[in-house]
Amino acid sequence: MQGSLLIQLLFLTLLLVTSGLISGAEVAFFSLTKDQLESEEEKKSRQTEVIQKMLDKPKRLLATILITNNFINIAIVLLFANLGEELFSQIENPLLVLLIEIGLITFLILFFGEILPKIYANRNALSFSKTMAFPIFTIDRYFLFFMTIPMSNITRFMESRLARKNNEFSIDKLSQALELTDEQETTKEEHKILQGIVNFGNTD
């Protein structure tokens, strides 16, 4: 019993560390500045090439990180639920046990899997990114590609649709405002310029 409990605790610790690394990677990758990347490119390191390749497809990179972290967090919750049966076996009230488990696992995931690693990654974006470059790249290219590619494509499609609707809305409003504008309030030249803007916005 004790040996099994120890193994589960060690595995839980490993999962929390992994969750922290993945969460930190999100902040680290997207905190990199153009100057940092250009400076590293001069060194021609393989890690920098991988980082740049992933940042060229930011939606796919973000999808990889989020999906991976969700899987890990689900594993943490399931493992902790199993651990709770042994750790809190002396407590007879099942509702109290549930509340304790929820409180503890929420604290562990937020503090060790989110807050601490993201603070560290934000302060050490370059070194953290280089550390996580190959693991994230491997996960994306060989394990989660069947999920990340469709998700990034759907996100791109939704964004383009929303952007097009917003653009059409703005052009329609501008066109209506132009029609309502009194010719005496604008010169013919100004009216022509405004009409040109509307026409340009209507082109695909």
* Per-residue confidence (pLDDT) for residue 41, from 0 to 100: 79
Q: Where are the domains of the chain?
A: 2-143, 160-202
* Per-residue confidence (pLDDT) for residue 194, from 0 to 100: 54
Average pLDDT of every residue of the chain: 83
The answer on pLDDT for 189 being more than 70 is no
The answer on pLDDT for 33 being more than 80 is yes
Mean pLDDT within 84-88: 83
Which position has the higher pLDDT, 150 or 29? 29
- Distance of alpha carbon 141 from its chain centroid, rounded? 17
* Per-residue confidence (pLDDT) for residue 42, from 0 to 100: 78
